[in-house]
Amino acid sequence: MTNTPATTSAGPVLRGLHNATIKRNLAVALGLTAIITVAYKVLVNDPKKAAYAEFYQKYDANKSFERMRANGRFQSC
């Protein structure tokens, strides 16, 4: 064997690695939060809002009151 110097590979770049990781994780978290918020609004809130609007469009409070009174739900009536 000859006495040749060993080749050294470049080490990993560690300077600023923590800050870069935080920036990437923050961007991913904000993106996922925005996507999940819009999906929840479209898939949960909008159908619920439409169901409430449809229910109260047909709802008659006096008819409901008379039905409950006829069933004996109230002590004072």
Reported as a single tens digit per residue, the pLDDT across 5-56 is 666 777 777 889 999 999 999 999 999 999 999 999 999 999 999 999 999 9
Structure tokens at 70: 């006829």
What does DSSP assign to residue 72?
A: T
Provide the CB-side half-sphere exposure for 52 (13 A, CA): 6
**Per-residue model confidence (pLDDT) at position 2:** 64
**Where along the chain do its domains lie?**
19-71
Average pLDDT over residues 42-71: 96
User: Which residue's entry shows tokens 């939060």?
Assistant: 33
Distance, CA of 20 to CA of 25 (rounded, Å): 9
Contact predicate 68/74, CB 8 Å: yes
Q: Class of the 19-71 domain?
A: few secondary structures
Q: Is the pLDDT of residue 1 over 60?
A: no
**Per-residue model confidence (pLDDT) at position 12:** 79
**Per-residue model confidence (pLDDT) at position 71:** 92
